[in-house]
């Protein structure tokens, strides 16, 4: 059976980008693979150093995981920092990672640009920690969105470098995965190419938004005055609305609005109304479950504890074997 590993940072509520880029695949994969899905709290500390908010969002992400359909009896769900073995593997991989390659990573360069006052070493070595997360369970596949592609390439580089340095085929070379398709990038409602909680709250539809909030957000989505020539290329903001519709609506609905657009007869108000209806049909059942789970702290604690225990079995084994391969020993 294949091993699957992925994680999401607890920096906020999960949005449709997280769902269609990652979570949807987690849910499908849990039926056919040995799955580990975690909440990446160590990674969040690179940008959000205060634990109070972090703890709140760890709970929220776990609730969102469960409400979306992750089953703790099928996949191992845990909090990254409950697995300190990851930190040891990260340290060992740091000796195999080069400054130059880390400085060239696009997510690092972007964070430096956005937050020049907080260029900490954790940000630089972020992909090394991510490799440790994945390789601690010796994964085959990593379900992620398009923005994680480069991090996965680096994971393979570190795995290969380890194998080469210690002359052993120990780590597999895991691949970024999306069910039967290319990796996806869900756009924002504000005309931006990626739905992202750090860019603009209004660009995101959260799984935990109540139906009225979803409707309001969709109705406010950026559009323009409409096409002026038949079959005109779509500007980014309009392309985004179509892409969101592709994610949540029936193919016939999408086709209808495509035709209207190409004939220059489209009414964006109608299109957004339809998009809101279809999006709510998708989010409302998840939202209902979120409300139920939120008040069930005992259950959530039990899930996290059971997940940590299961995850540690495989993590302890990997770290023990890696120490042996490197030749580290205690007297």
Contact residues toward ligand TYM (CB under 6 A) are 5-9, 17-18, 20-22, 40, 43, 130, 133-134, 142, 144-145, 147-148, 151, 184-186, 194-196
Question: Is 273 a catalytic site residue?
Answer: no
- Nearest distance in Å: CB 110, ligand TYM: 12
Query: Residues 291, 33, 304, CA angle at the centre, nearest 5°?
Result: 40
Give one word for 182, left, alpha or beta, with left for phi > 0 and alpha for psi -120 to 50: beta
Q: What is the DSSP letter of 22?
A: I
- Nearest distance in Å: CB 206, ligand TYM: 12
The Cα–Cα gap between 26 and 39 comes to 13
- Nearest distance in Å: CB 25, ligand TYM: 9
* Closer to ligand TYM by Cβ: residue 185 or 289: 185
* Closer to ligand TYM by Cβ: residue 177 or 266: 177
* Closer to ligand TYM by Cβ: residue 41 or 278: 41
* Closer to ligand TYM by Cβ: residue 44 or 227: 44
Question: Token match 């920096």: residue?
Answer: 11
Length of the chain in terms of residues written: 331
- Active-site position among 185, 194, 246, 273: 194
The Cα–Cα gap between 244 and 200 comes to 17
- Nearest distance in Å: CB 126, ligand TYM: 7
The Cα–Cα gap between 62 and 10 comes to 9
Question: Is 317 a catalytic site residue?
Answer: no
- Active-site position among 197, 273, 289, 310: 197
Q: Are 39 and 58 in contact (CB under 8 A)?
A: yes
| Nearest alpha carbon to residue 82 among 322, 320, 301 | 301
Question: Is 197 a catalytic site residue?
Answer: yes
Report the catalytic residues.
111, 194, 197
């Amino acid at each position: 059976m294949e091993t699957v590993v992925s994680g999401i940072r607890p920096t906020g509520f999960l949005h449709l980008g997280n769902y269609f880029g990652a979570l949807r695949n987690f849910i499908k994969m849990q039926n056919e693979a040995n799955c580990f899905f975690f909440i990446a709290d160590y990674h969040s500390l690179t940008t959000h150093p205060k634990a109070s908010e972090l703890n709140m969002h760890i709970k929220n992400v776990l609730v969102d995981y469960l409400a979306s359909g992750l089953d703790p009896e099928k996949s191992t769900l845990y909090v990254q920092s409950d697995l300190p073995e990851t930190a040891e593997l990260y340290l060992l991989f740091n000796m195999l990672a080069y400054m130059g390659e880390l400085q060239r990573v696009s997510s690092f360069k972007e964070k430096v640009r956005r937050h020049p006052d907080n260029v900490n070493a954790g940000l630089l070595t972020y992909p090394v920690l991510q490799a440790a997360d994945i390789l601690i369970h010796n994964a085959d596949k990593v379900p992620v969105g398009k923005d994680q592609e480069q991090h996965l390439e680096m994971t393979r580089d570190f795995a290969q470098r380890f194998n080469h340095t210690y002359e052993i085929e120990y780590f597999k070379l895991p691949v970024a995965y999306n069910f039967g398709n290319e990796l996806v990038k869900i756009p924002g409602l504000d005309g931006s190419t990626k739905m992202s909680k750090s860019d603009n709250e209004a660009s995101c539809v959260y799984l935990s938004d109540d139906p009225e909030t979803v409707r309001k957000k969709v109705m406010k989505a950026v559009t323009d005055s409409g096409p002026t020539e038949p079959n005109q290329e779509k500007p980014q903001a309009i392309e985004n609305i179509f892409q969101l519709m592709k994610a949540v609506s029936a193919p016939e609905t999408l086709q209808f609005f495509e035709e209207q657009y190409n004939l220059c007869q489209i009414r964006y108000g109608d299109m957004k109304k339809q998009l809101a209806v279809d999006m709510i049909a998708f989010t409302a059942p998840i939202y209902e479950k979120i409300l139920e789970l939120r008040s069930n702290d005992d259950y959530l604690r039990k899930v996290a504890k059971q997940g940590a225990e299961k995850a540690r079995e495989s993590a302890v084994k990997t770290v023990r074997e890696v120490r042996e391969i490197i030749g580290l020993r205690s007297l």
